């Protein structure tokens, strides 16, 4: 155990976050995301008993978002005609606003199949048990300036 580190961040996940450099990306995926398929060239960390919001909040406590890009946070866009609601996105934006002064302005969207392609180039994918649909989020790491 360590002081000041959210307990949800396992030693494996902390190691991955620490290994990442500026502009590396990590995906926090929902339970339907094909994490093992998309993560063939990435580190896949299993966090099946947890949801995306609690992991996003814990990660952003130790993970700086990239300040050199407009959208260091990207969500998987809903497919046209898919009749789903995404209230979890509002939760994400509230969490992000606690850690980045740009708030929801630093959040973008990526078309579903393009999101899959970009996920294949991520440094790591965190597979969660999140049951909300379109709940995948990609973070781009910034520079620690302390």
**Which residues are part of the catalytic machinery?**
22, 66, 116
Task: Assess contact for 104 and 93: CB atoms under 8 A.
Answer: yes
Question: Residue 108, class by beta-carbon neighbours within 10 Å (0-12 exposed, 13-18 middle, 19+ buried)?
Answer: middle
Alpha carbon distance 125, 130 (integer Å): 14
Alpha carbon distance 47, 86 (integer Å): 21
Crossing angle of helices 88-99 and 52-60, in 10° steps, is 10
Joined together, the tokens standing for residue 98 give 């606690």
Joined together, the tokens standing for residue 33 give 């995301």
């Amino acid at each position: 155990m360590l002081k000041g580190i959210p307990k949800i961040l396992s030693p494996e996940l902390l190691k991955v976050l620490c290994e990442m450099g500026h502009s590396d990306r990590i995906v926090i995926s929902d339970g339907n995301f094909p994490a093992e398929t998309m993560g063939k060239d990435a580190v896949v960390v299993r966090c099946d008993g947890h949801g995306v919001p609690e992991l996003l909040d814990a990660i952003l406590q130790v993970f700086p978002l990239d300040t050199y890009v407009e959208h260091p946070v990207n969500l998987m866009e809903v497919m046209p005609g898919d009749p789903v609601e995404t209230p979890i996105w509002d939760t994400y934006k509230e969490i992000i606003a606690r850690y980045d002064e740009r708030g929801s302005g630093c959040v973008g969207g990526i078309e579903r199949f393009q999101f899959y392609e970009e996920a294949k180039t991520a440094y790591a994918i965190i597979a969660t048990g999140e049951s909300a649909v379109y709940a995948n989020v990609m973070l781009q790491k910034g520079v620690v300036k302390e």
